[in-house]
Amino acid sequence: MPKFYRFIGCLLLVCCTKMAVFANSSVTDFAVKGIYIDLRTQVMTVPALKTVAQKAAAEGINTLIMEYEATFPFDKHATLCNSYHFTVGEITEFVAYCSSLGIDVIPLQNCFGHCEYILQHDRYAQLRESKNDMSQVCPLSKQAKEVFGEIFQEVARLHPSPYFHIGADETRLLGHCKYCKQKVNDEGISKLFVDYVKEMCELVIGMGKTPLIWADMILQYPEALNELPSGIIVVDWNYGWNPNHFGNIDALIERGLTVWGASALRSSPDNIYLTQWNKHFENLETFLPFAREHGYKGIINTSWSTSGRYGYIYDNGWEVVELQPIRQVYPMSGFDILQRAYADALKKTDWDAKTFIRNYGKEHFGFTDREQTILLEYMSMPQEMVTTAKIEDTQITQMLVQCETLKKKLAELKPKYHKEDFRHLQLMLDIRINYLKFKQVEKLYESNEFNASMREICAIRLKQIEKESKELRKRFCRLNAAYLKNPAESFGTWDYLQKMEEIYYRLLKTHY
C-alpha cells in the first residue's frame, strides 16, 4: 500500500476513534447531577426552596443535598433547633415536592467536623474534642455512636433518599485531646480518622442507606484508605485548585470507590461584599471536564452561605453564649447566572464561560451585544478582600474607581426580562462599593498618620457611608423578603457594617 494511502488510513482511524470517544463521552454522563443548599446562616423560606427545586429540575438537575444544621425539626434532640427551624410537615412537603419533580433530596448531617451548633450545648459537652473549640467531635467519644445514631434516625426518617451524607471534612483537630494523641502515636492519624468514619458509616448502612463523605481528609491521610467501607461514596470538592490539592485523587479510584465531584457556586473568600464570579466560572470550565475524564459518577454544585467556621462569645470560662459566623455570603437569590451556568456546563463537553455569559445576557435579560459586553465585564472583574494592614490606599482607590465606573455602565443597561435578577447584581456591586469606601476611611484610621485632628473628617465620611449602608440594607431586605426567613440578619449582623458602626461611634464620642 502506498505511504499516502497508509497515512490517509491512519488519519481516518484516528478521526473515527476520536469521534467514537466523543460519542461515548455523553455530556449527561453523571448519574447524579446535584446542587447544594446550605441553611446554616441564611434560612430560606419554603416557597423559595420550592422555586430553587423547580428551576433546578427544569435544567436537568436530579439531586439536592440539604444541610439543615439547627433548622432541622429535631425531636429527641430538640436542644439543637434554632428559632428558624422548619416543621416536620414543611420538610415532608418539600421532599415530596422535589420527588414529584424527579429530584432526590439527600440530607447532610455532620457528625465529626463542623459540629459547632451541636457542641456549643452543654448537653453534648462529652462529645467535644476540645473545650475551647466547639468545631469537632472527639472520634474516641464513647457517647458519639448513641447520639448520632439517634440524630441520623431523626433526619433519615424525613428523607427516603438511598443516600446519607455524614460530612467528615475539615477535621482540623485530629489528635488534639490526650487520648486521640495517644492513638495517633500508636496507630497513625489516618487510622484515627477512618475508625470513626467506619463507625458512623455502620449507622448509615444499618438504616439501609449508602454513606457519603467529603474527600479532603482521607486524601490528606490515606494510609488507612483501604479500611473504608467498600460501598462508601467519596465526594471530591474542588473549587478551582490542582486536582491533587488534598492528595492523590487516583488513590480513591484505584481503591475502587465511587467518587462524586463538587464544584462551587459560593466559596471562600466570597462575602456579602465580595463575589469572585470569574473564579466560579473557571471552576466549571476546568473541573467538570476533569470529573468526566476520571469517571466520577456524580457532580454537586455546592453553595456555602458561610465559611463554616465560627467565633465564640464565652461566659464563665468556656461556656458558649453565642456563635459568630466568620463569613456570610450574598444569598443564592443573586446567583441565578451561576446556577444556570452549572446546568449548561453539564450539557456540553466544550462549555465556554464567556460564550455562556453573553448568551445569558441575551436570552435572560434581552441585552444587546453592547450590553452583553458590559455584563461580561462585570463577571470578569477581580474582587479581593481588603486587609488594611497589607494594602496601599491607592490600591483601594483603584478598586473603587473600577467598581464605580462599572456601576455607571450597569445603570445604562435596560433588561427586558427578569429584572429582579438584574437588581440583585446591581445591589451586590453597590454593597462592594460601600465596603470599599469604608475601607478607605479605615485605612486612614488605622494608619500612623491618624491623630486627634483627623477625627472629625473621618466621622463625617463614615456618617455618609453608614447612611448609604442603611439604604443598601433596606434594598437587600426588600429584594430578599420572600426568599429568606430573616433577610435583615443576613446583612448587618456579623459583617463589615458592625465594624463601621463601632469605629464611627468611637469617633463620634471622642469628637463630641
Mode of pairing for the β-strands spanning 258-266 and 233-237: parallel
The DSSP element (H or E) to which 63 belongs, if any, is strand 63-67
Of 259, 261, 249, 145, which is closest to residue 201 (Cα–Cα)? 145
Q: By percentage, how much of the chain surpasses pLDDT 70?
A: 94
The C-alpha atoms of residue 479 and residue 424 are separated, in whole angstroms, by 7
The C-alpha atoms of residue 213 and residue 203 are separated, in whole angstroms, by 14
> Can you tell me whether residue 444 is helix, strand or coil?
helix
DSSP structure string for 284-323: HHHHHHHHHHTT-SEEEEEE-SB-S-EEEEEETTTEEEEE
- Which residues fall within 8 angstroms of residue 414, CB to CB, at 6 or more apart? 371
Q: What is the pLDDT of residues 32-65, one digit of tens each?
A: 999 999 999 999 999 999 999 999 999 999 999 9
The C-alpha atoms of residue 316 and residue 119 are separated, in whole angstroms, by 16
Per the DSSP assignment, residues forming a β-bridge with 466 are none
Q: Is the pLDDT of residue 8 over 80?
A: no
CA angle 90, 91, 96 (to 5 degrees): 100
Band the pLDDT of 15: cuts 50, 70, 90: very low
Is the pTM higher than 0.85? The answer reads yes
CA angle 216, 111, 217 (to 5 degrees): 15
Per the DSSP assignment, residues forming a β-bridge with 46 are none
Q: What is the pLDDT of residues 279-306, one digit of tens each?
A: 999 999 999 999 999 999 999 999 999 9
Q: What is the pLDDT of residues 107-148, one digit of tens each?
A: 999 999 999 999 999 999 999 999 999 999 999 999 999 999
